[in-house]
Structure formats: C-alpha cells, structure tokens
Chains A and B, each alone.
Chain A
Amino acid sequence: MENGQGIITAFSTAEPFRWVGLVWLVPLFPAAATLLNGLLGRKVIRYRTGQLATVAMLGALIVSLLCIWDIARTGQPYNVDYFIWIGVGDFQLPFGFYVDQLTAVMLFVVSFVGTVIFLYAIGYMHGHPGYWRFFTYMPLFAVMMFLLVLGNSLPVLFVGWEGVGLCSYLLIGYFFDRDYAAQAGRKAFIVNRIGDFGFLLGMLLLYWTLGSVRFTDIVEHAPDIYPAGSVMITVITLLLFLGATGKSAQIPLFVWLPDAMAGPTPVSALIHAATMVTAGVYMIARLNLLYSLAPISLLVVGTVGALTALMAATIAFTQREAKRILAYSTISQLGYMFLALGVGAFDAGIFHLMTHAFFKACLFLSAGSVLHAFHEDRDVDIFQAGGLRRYMPMTRLAFLVSAVAIAGIPPFAGFFSKDEILFEAFAGGYILFWGIGLTAAFCTAFYMFRLYSLLFSGEFRGTEHQRRHLHECPFIMWFPLVILALLSLVGGWVNIPGLFPKFHAFLRPVFAEAHELAGPHRELAGARIWEISLALLSVLVALTGIFAARLCYVQLPKLPHWFAETFPSLFIASLHKYWIDEAYQATVVKGFYSACRLAQWCDNRIIVAGLNAFAALIRHLSEIGTQLQTGYVRHYALAIVIGVVFLLIGMLL
C-alpha cells in the first residue's frame, strides 16, 4: 500500500509507464458519445446513436481491462491528481482518480455489464421516439458512474453520485409524457435528496474533523484521529450510511426503486440493478477503515441489510408485475451486500455485488425481452402470461440460468457469493443475521421460481391477440442475454473457497487494515467442516424454495389461494408491501404538503401582507417626501447626500 499513498503527478516522466495511467480514457469514451449524440443525435446521427454509444462503451471496457490487468500484475494502487479542482487558500482539492483492486472490480462490472446492456438496448429501444435522447443519457450515466468509482476523494465521488442520480431521474422519466413515469422520477429524486443530505453532512463532518476528504489521507490519518468506537466516527459513518440507504434502496429509503421500473428496461437493468444502486455498497467498502473504527455503525449497516433482505423478499411473494418483483429482488440482494459489509466481510459483499450484477442484469434483460414480445413499455402482469417457454426459448434459458444463480444452487455464481456471506455472518458470531439470511434465501428461491413458473411454464393466459404476436427477441437482444447467462454460471468460479480463492486474494490489500482492526474473529474451529455443512444447508434451503414454488404454481395451483385464504393477514400485508408507501404517504408526504400549505399561508398572509405593509410604508414615506420635495431626481440626489453625510460622520468621528 505504501507506494500508492503519495501523489503521483499526472503524466510525469519520472514514473515508469503503467497501463493504468490510461484510466482517464475510461470516462472520456462515453463522454464523447454523450457529446456527439447530444449535439448531433436528433438530426445527423439518428439511429446510429445506439451503435456509437455501444462502441464508446466497448472502448471504455477495453481500457478498463488494461487497467485491471495492470493492477492485478503489479498489485500497486494508482493515485493520480489531474488538476486542482477547488482551491481557496490552504484548502486545495485536486480532481483525480484512484485505482486499486476494489476500483478494478467496479470498473469491470460497470464497463462490462454496461457494454452488454448498451448492445441489448440498440434492439430494445429500436423504433422508440427519442431514441437519440436515450443514447445521450445512457453514456452520460456511464461517465458519472465511472467518476463515482474512480474518484480519489469524496467530493469527486459525490459528483458521480449526484450525476448518476440525475441520469437515473432523467431515464426513469424517459416516457415523460406518461404521468406515472414523471411521478416515479420525482419520487426517486426526492427520496434520494434525503439520503444525499446525510451524505453531504457526513462529508462535511469528516472534512471538519479529519482535515481532508481524500481516500489516501483518510486511510493514513483516520486511525490516529478517531479512537475506535468514538462518537464522532459513529456519527460520520451513520450519516454516510444514510446516503447509501437512499442510493442503494435500503430501509427506510427503498420506496423509490420499485416505482423506478417505470423507465425503459435497459435502464432498470443497468442503473437500477447492476451499477448505480450498488454505489452505496461501493462507498462503504471504499471507506471500510472508517466503518471498522465504528462497530455500532457496522451493526446498524448489518441490521438494516438483513431486515431489508428479508422484508423485500417477502414483498416479492405477492407482487403481480415481473419488473416489480425483480426490483424487490434487487432490494433484497442489496440487503445481502449490506449484511456482508455489516459483519465486516467487505470482500464477500463486493463479490456478491459482482455476481449479482451479472444475474440480475440477465434477469432484467430477459424480462425486457418478454415485455418486448408483449409490445409493452411498462411492465407485464405475470398472471396474464405463462407458457412462454415455447415462444421464446433463448429468453427462457437465460432466465432459468440466472434464476438458478440467484437462488444459490451450485455451481452457479450466486451460490458462491451468497453462501460466503452467510458463512461469514455465522463465523463472525452473528447467528441472528445468518438465520435471517437463510430465511431470505428460501424466499429468494421461492419468489424467483414463482416468477419463472408463471412466466414460462403452463399455458399462455393472455389474450389471443397477444398470443399471436409472441416471438423470440432478435439476435441483438438474445446475444447479450447469452453472455450474461454464461457469466451467471461461471462468474462465481473466481472464488471457490479452499480450491481457488483468487478473488479474495486479489481484494485482500484493500481490506487488510480493516480486517486487522475488526479483530481476529475469523478463526472458527474446524472452519472447513463448518463451511461445507453450512453450504449444504443453504443449498437444501434453496432447493426447498424452488420445489415449493414449483409445487404452488405448476403442480398445485390451488395451493397459493388456500394459503392466501388461510393466512389472509400475512398475504395482504405482503401484497400491500407492508403499507410502507402508505405510511410514507400518511406521514412524510402529508407532512410535506402541510408544510407547503403552511409556507403558502405564510407567504400569503405574512410575507405578502408584510411586504405590502412595508411597501405601503415606503410609499407613505415617499408621499410625504413628494410633498416636501417636488420630484424624484431630487429625491434620489437627496439620498446620495444623506449617504455622504453618513460616510463623513462614520469616518471623521
């Protein structure tokens, strides 16, 4: 680590050349695409905007791979300041990038999944009005996401953070002429502002107490400045976590994500599943040292993660729309990641972030392909679908692979990452978290195969008109599905405990210090035995979930009805998402509106009346003035004389 701490001057000749020095090209490619598409998209480039954006993302992917290869080869983090961004006296904030193993993973996820989804979107968005607008915002989102993961200080990260939020807002409201889309955009915007407020406050507190917001300085000085468990560090980390709950849709700020599905499906896949919503996880992993100094905050992170994982998974039981179920699934899986962070297993959290990006993107894109077959923009009611396996075999295959992956069946990717989180929780002594996680794993397997069964098994339940139009998606759409499905299969093999623990070895330098601080809780007697038996248990649980779902929705379709009639309260609670939206409506939104009404009342009664009174006073005075004087110019001249007299008195007395 020590070599990467100092500021390496950009483009300095003294340093030996490193491929990672090209990292500035990564955001530049999509930035160029945004610029070109934005300026020339409507009239000149038109339907080639999609290809242009995809090629730009491919360029970013290639450069990213070079950077990752360099980091893997040398093992040295790379820190570079490009220019002084803000400077007032002794406050100098450079704009620069920091690339280490953690950044490398994120770079890979963003650029790879991004490229694949862009490719898919060329087909999916074909024929939509505002095609060029879509491919102007999407690369812009990529730029902001790259800034977020590459920034070498919190403010740079924050620029990316706000930038992805803005793009998300613009893309959710892509169909801005439809009321629900505009409303969903606004909801996401407002909920995220609450989180950002916490983030900003945490950042300011950090600057105030530590004197710097650069990651290298934080790593260097934080242990000296904040005693472990001190109040200040706890407050800072909790405030930052509030920001993370907003962006990553955790309790209590998760309500915006299901509504965000109003955007086009590639947006849901890229922004609201694979990349942007994981920004909170990335941020906490990046600041792992701060969090390991604040055990209370870690506990809060873990608790919120575990509860979110379970709650979102149970809500997903009863929802009727495909994308909405996937949205709750995303919230639940993000909960797993926070659970991992909370128990100090940062590497497991990042591992799950990566595998989740693969299979969740694949799930969303498959759902998108179903929507495409239904000629539907918004969402599809799964009770009006069914039997699609005959019409769309490729889509079905991709969906099945990624569903198995998310359910956690070996050797698919989700098994390795999810199981590791559960094992770390267990090994760390967080038995309760482990229990919740295991329950949620059952729920995950259940709702995922409920979704699969209702979409692809059985007979088609939609209208005859719809049935005649059902078709497999074009090559440009199923090809990305295949790539992602493949990765959902093999993505987990980079870290097979005992045999091939490469991923953790790769990330170790980033989290070494935090692990040291967190204490040696990772030594569990007979770890290997435990690990294997726990893994067997979770596979068993997942299989139970799958079979239960198949039983309910294929073999015995009456069973869910019986369940809903026998336990109506549970069913209704889940169906209504535990009334959380309603609770927000009743408290926050109502409160906000009353505050607005109060403000309006104040505006009318107090401000306007006050100003009227004030204006009347001024008018009255000037009327008296006009009677004494005779015209305005002289009035003005008199004011000047009064000013001069005031200055003379002030200066000479």
Chain B
Amino acid sequence: MNNFAVPILGIQGIMPELLLSLAAVLILLLEMTAGDREGHGALSLSVAGLILAFIATFGADGKQVFSSLLVNDNLSALLDRVFLMAAFLVTLVSRPYLANYGLAKGEFFVLLLLATVGMMVMGAAMDFITMFLGLEMLSLSLYVLAGFFKKDVLSGEAAFKYFILGAFATGFLVFGMAFVFGALGTTNFAAMAHTLSAGSPPFPSVPTLLFGLALILAGLGFKISLVPFHTWVPDVYTGAPTPVTALIATGSKAAGFAALVRIFMITFPGSFQFWGAAFWWLALLTMIVGNLFALVQVEIKRMFAYSSVANGGYLAMAFLSHSDVGIKALLFYLFAYTFMTVGVFGVVSLAGRRERLLISEYAGLSRENPFLAAVMSLFLLSLAGMPGTAGFFGKFYLFAGAVRSGYLGLALVGILTTILSFYYYLRVIVYMYMRESEMPREALELAGSGRTALVLAAAGVLILGCFPNLIWISIEQVF
C-alpha cells in the first residue's frame, strides 16, 4: 500500500518538462489575447522555454519521482538534452520557414513543445503507463504537425498515413505491454526487474513475457523506422513540413531508442538471447535497404528519408552490441546525428521561398547563397563520415563498439553501406558546386533565426568532430 500512501512530490524532478509545458500554455494565451501574427512572440517564448529547460536538465539527481513513474537519472538528462537541442534548432528554423507560407502561427510552436515534452517523458519513464503517455503525447503532436499545411495535399496525406500506421504500431505496443504486465504483475520497470532477478518466474519459461516483448519491440521498431517497419518514412518525411520532418527524424527516433534502452537494456537485460538474432537481421536489412533506396531517389527529402532509415540501422547495430560501449556509442551518435540531420533539413527548409524538392534544383546553390551551400556540404560530409566532423567519430564509435561486441559481419556491412552512401551524399555537393542552375535565380537572403540555427548546427558538427570528448565525458557518467 506504500505506493499509494503519499505520492512523493517531485516537482524538481520534472522541471524541464514543466518549463516547456508552461511555455506552451503561455504561447496559447498570447495567441488568444495579443494575436501574434508573425510568430515572433511564440518563437521567443519557445526559445526561452527550451533554454531554461536545457539548464534545468543539469539538476539530475538520479531519484525516482511520482511513485516511481519517472526517473531523473543521468541517462534521462542526457536524452533530454538531445531532444531539447533538436527542438531548439527546429524551432529556430520553423519561423522563417512558416513565414514563407504565411503560416507562422503559435499553435505550431505549442505542438512542437508538447512533442518535446512527450519525448522527455518517454526518456525518463520508469513505468509502462508513463512511457505510453509520453509516446502518445509525442505522436499525437507530430500527427497534427505533419498535417499542419491543411491546404496541401501531400501534407494531409502524410498526416493520415503517419497517423494510421503510427496508431497501428501503438496498438502492437500496448498489446505487448499488456502481456508483459500479465507475466510479471506490475507495470513498473524497477519492480519487474526485481521480480525477474528474484528468479520467479525464470525467463525462458514465460512465453507470455516473450510474446509481449516481441510486440513491444515491433511497436518501438516503428518509431525508430527499422525495416520492415519503415514503410511510412519516405511518404511522411516527404509530405510533412520540412522542420517537422527534421523533428520526426531526430527527436522522435531518439525517443524510440530511449525507450528501447530503458526496456531491453536496463529492465530486461537477460532477454537479449531471445531478441538478439532477430534484431540482427532487422539491423542488417535496415542498413542495406536504407542506403540502397536512397541511391535512386530524385527528391531530396525522400533521399534523406531513406538516409535516415539507414542511420537508424547504424544506431540499431550499436543497440544490438548490448554493451556499455555500444550504448555509449549510440548516445554519441544520437548527438552527432541530431546536429547533422536537423542541419540538412534546415537547409532544405530555407533554400528558397518555395522549397526545392528535386536534388537537381540544388544546382548553383553555391552562387545564390554560399553560406547555405557551405553548411549543407558540411552536414553532408558529416553524414558521410568525413574526419573532422561529428559523423566521423559517431561512426568510429559505432563500428568500434560493434566490432568489440563481436558483430564483425554487421560492422563490415555497415562500413560497406557507408561507402555506398558517399555516392548519394556527394551527389548533392556536386550539384551545388559544379552544376549551373537551368533557370538563373536571384541571391537568397536568410532570416536571422534560420541562420542562427544552421550556424549552431554546423558548430555542433565541427566541435563534436574535433573534440568528441566534450560530449563523451557526460556520456561516460551515464553508466
């Protein structure tokens, strides 16, 4: 009964989430009262909320709050920083992007903040209930954001596909959670781990538990877009407003991995022998399919969609290595991946008043706006794993971790597919610098906050590329 006696108030434990929610409410109020047409007020409030929340993540004390529903440890704090950074950069890119379409409304920023809160709850969840709650907050906000351009056919289609398939995957997830609950009699992770370590019931004898875990893996596999759960990715990434795509590709995927780590690495470390083999195949397929399909794309967002699938495969490989080194590599790559992915989608968002959808439309960008072309090249080189960029150390840690855990074959496929990926990344650079545009365009001006976002992302890529230890030190503290 102790659980229900007095819920321990842990306001300080959810400070970042509270700050973001507060900012969201304030934006709504502002929208109602002052009529913030251009979205400047919403942008400032979001930025303030995100920065304050980022500062608040440094108060992690490792305690569980709200009757062990959430935990406030180093892992959740680190993940919070990934989410907040992604949201911060996306917010900065969003306003000029939306202003181009005359749609810079407050509710976009509200939904963005709430999606971030959802990710953070997912990352800190110590209970199936909170994890589900976080997932739904995240997903529902993203469904609406994906369909934010109501007049746009593609946006609506993306929202609908995302919704149907996302809800479908959530169905699997909840169904699986119900079975795990049935096998262990509790929804709390700590209690589950305790029940298991007490030896009753031993792992292999509980098919219910395994059945449940398999369904959970499938549900989360949708979020991290493992093949064959990736089918929604190209359509949704292409149709959704580009900043939203950036958030789906980074924050949402990171949240999926956060949940995977919480459940499969921390709560059920012994389950590895059951899911390891199947997951190996999924990681392999994901790397191959993602890179292979990206090769033939002519639309830039679709190409990056498949590239994002491929990167999910690399992350899955790190997750599979099932060791401290692997998880640390995963966390590092999440940071690197966030910077470079938000970077490329940021450039796509801002490369013109109307978006350039085809890769060939990027011809001559280096003349119209050398800054955009330069940072785009940096992000692309980082995605390709050039030394001196974040992507290099990200991949280095990933492959080193995989080799150390004995996944030589997987690492080899990873390296081969990485080499394959040079082709489609460098192709964009070739277009930007070596081809002339067929119809001459005028020089391109960049709005202030968009430029700031790109500079920050580029700085992140370079700093991580030159001094990986700045992040690595805080990653070392996680375990």
Q: Which residues of A contact B (CB under 8 A)?
A: 83-89, 611, 614-615, 632-633, 635-637, 639-640, 642-644, 646-652
**B222→A611 contact, CB < 8 A:** no
For A646, the chain B residues whose CB sits under 8 A away are: 228, 278, 281-282
A183, B282: Cα distance in complex, Å: 47
A615, B232: Cα distance in complex, Å: 18
A632, B229: Cα distance in complex, Å: 14
Q: With A637-B168, A651-B278 in contact, is A643–B211 under 8 Å at CB?
A: no
Q: A647-B278, A651-B211 are in contact. List 8 more A-B contacts (CB 8 A).
A: A611-B296, A632-B161, A633-B164, A644-B218, A646-B278, A648-B214, A650-B275, A650-B278
A651, B280: Cα distance in complex, Å: 12
A640, B169: Cα distance in complex, Å: 8
For B221, the chain A residues whose CB sits under 8 A away are: 643, 647
**B211→A648 contact, CB < 8 A:** yes
**B468→A86 contact, CB < 8 A:** yes
For B393, the chain A residues whose CB sits under 8 A away are: 86
**B278→A639 contact, CB < 8 A:** no
For B469, the chain A residues whose CB sits under 8 A away are: 83-87
Q: Which residue of B lies closest to A608 (CB)?
A: B296
Chain B 120-173 interface residues, beta-carbon cutoff 8 Å to A? 160-161, 164-165, 168-169, 172
A632, B162: Cα distance in complex, Å: 12
Q: B203-236: contact bitstring with A at CB < 8 Å (1 yes, 0 no)?
A: 0000100110111011001100011110110010
**A644→B172 contact, CB < 8 A:** yes
**B222→A615 contact, CB < 8 A:** no
Q: With A633-B161, A652-B211 in contact, is A640–B325 under 8 Å at CB?
A: no
**B222→A640 contact, CB < 8 A:** yes
**B213→A643 contact, CB < 8 A:** no
**Interface residue? B9 (CB, 8 A):** no
Q: Which residues of B contact A (CB under 8 A)?
A: 160-161, 164-165, 168-169, 172, 207, 210-211, 213-215, 217-218, 221-222, 226-229, 231-232, 235, 274-275, 277-279, 281-282, 292, 295-296, 325, 329, 393, 396-397, 400, 404, 467-469, 472-473, 476
For A647, the chain B residues whose CB sits under 8 A away are: 214-215, 217-218, 221, 275, 278, 282
**A636→B278 contact, CB < 8 A:** no
A126, B207: Cα distance in complex, Å: 81
For B396, the chain A residues whose CB sits under 8 A away are: 88
**A636→B214 contact, CB < 8 A:** no
**B397→A644 contact, CB < 8 A:** no
Q: Which residue of B lies closest to A648 (CB)?
A: B214
Q: Would you mind naming 25 contact pairs between A and B with Cβ atoms under 8 Å apart?
A: A84-B472, A85-B467, A86-B468, A611-B296, A614-B292, A633-B165, A635-B231, A636-B161, A640-B218, A643-B221, A643-B226, A643-B282, A644-B172, A644-B214, A644-B218, A646-B278, A646-B281, A647-B214, A647-B275, A648-B211, A649-B278, A650-B214, A650-B277, A651-B274, A651-B275
Q: With A85-B469, A644-B218 in contact, is A639–B168 under 8 Å at CB?
A: no
A646, B278: Cα distance in complex, Å: 8
For A89, the chain B residues whose CB sits under 8 A away are: 325, 404
Q: With A87-B472, A648-B211 in contact, is A643–B397 under 8 Å at CB?
A: no
A487, B174: Cα distance in complex, Å: 81
Looking at chain A's contact residues, the main secondary structure is helix
Partner of B215, one of A85, A88, A614, A644: A644
A644, B221: Cα distance in complex, Å: 10
Please indicate which of the listed interface residues B207, B218, B468 has the most CB atoms of chain A within 10 Å of its own CB: B218
For the complex of A and B, the 7 pairs showing the least CB-CB separation, nearest first, are A650-B278, A636-B231, A643-B228, A644-B218, A639-B228, A651-B214, A639-B231
CB distance from B396 to the nearest CB of A (A): 8
Counting residue pairs across A and B whose Cβ atoms lie within 8 Å, the total is 99
CB distance from A350 to the nearest CB of B (A): 30
For B229, the chain A residues whose CB sits under 8 A away are: 639-640, 643
A649, B221: Cα distance in complex, Å: 16
CB distance from B165 to the nearest CB of A (A): 6
CB distance from A170 to the nearest CB of B (A): 14
Q: Which residue of A lies closest to B274 (CB)?
A: A651
Please indicate which of the listed interface residues A632, A633, A637, A640 has the most CB atoms of chain B within 10 Å of its own CB: A640
CB distance from A140 to the nearest CB of B (A): 14
A647, B282: Cα distance in complex, Å: 9
**A640→B228 contact, CB < 8 A:** yes
For B164, the chain A residues whose CB sits under 8 A away are: 633, 637
For B215, the chain A residues whose CB sits under 8 A away are: 644, 647-648
For B211, the chain A residues whose CB sits under 8 A away are: 648, 651-652
CB distance from A241 to the nearest CB of B (A): 22
CB distance from A186 to the nearest CB of B (A): 14
CB distance from B468 to the nearest CB of A (A): 6
Please indicate which of the listed interface residues A85, A636, A644, A651 has the most CB atoms of chain B within 10 Å of its own CB: A651
Q: Which residue of A lies closest to B227 (CB)?
A: A643
A253, B307: Cα distance in complex, Å: 38
**A642→B228 contact, CB < 8 A:** yes
Q: Which residue of A lies closest to B328 (CB)?
A: A88
**B165→A640 contact, CB < 8 A:** yes
Partner of A611, one of B207, B210, B277, B295: B295
A2, B161: Cα distance in complex, Å: 69
A637, B160: Cα distance in complex, Å: 13
Partner of B207, one of A83, A632, A635, A652: A652
For A636, the chain B residues whose CB sits under 8 A away are: 161, 165, 231-232
CB distance from B238 to the nearest CB of A (A): 13
CB distance from B18 to the nearest CB of A (A): 35
CB distance from B423 to the nearest CB of A (A): 9
For A611, the chain B residues whose CB sits under 8 A away are: 292, 295-296
Partner of A640, one of B168, B207, B217, B235: B168
CB distance from A94 to the nearest CB of B (A): 9
Partner of B214, one of A615, A639, A652: A652
A650, B273: Cα distance in complex, Å: 11
A155, B296: Cα distance in complex, Å: 38
Q: Which residue of B lies closest to A603 (CB)?
A: B423
A319, B27: Cα distance in complex, Å: 74
For A85, the chain B residues whose CB sits under 8 A away are: 467-469
A218, B197: Cα distance in complex, Å: 48
CB distance from A619 to the nearest CB of B (A): 11
CB distance from A638 to the nearest CB of B (A): 9
CB distance from B139 to the nearest CB of A (A): 15
For A83, the chain B residues whose CB sits under 8 A away are: 467, 469
Q: Which residue of B lies closest to A646 (CB)?
A: B278
A136, B33: Cα distance in complex, Å: 51
**A651→B165 contact, CB < 8 A:** no
A632, B274: Cα distance in complex, Å: 32
Q: With A639-B228, A639-B231, A640-B168 in contact, is A652–B210 under 8 Å at CB?
A: yes
For B274, the chain A residues whose CB sits under 8 A away are: 651
Q: Which residue of A lies closest to B387 (CB)?
A: A162
For B165, the chain A residues whose CB sits under 8 A away are: 633, 636-637, 640
CB distance from A603 to the nearest CB of B (A): 9
A390, B148: Cα distance in complex, Å: 79
For A87, the chain B residues whose CB sits under 8 A away are: 469, 472, 476
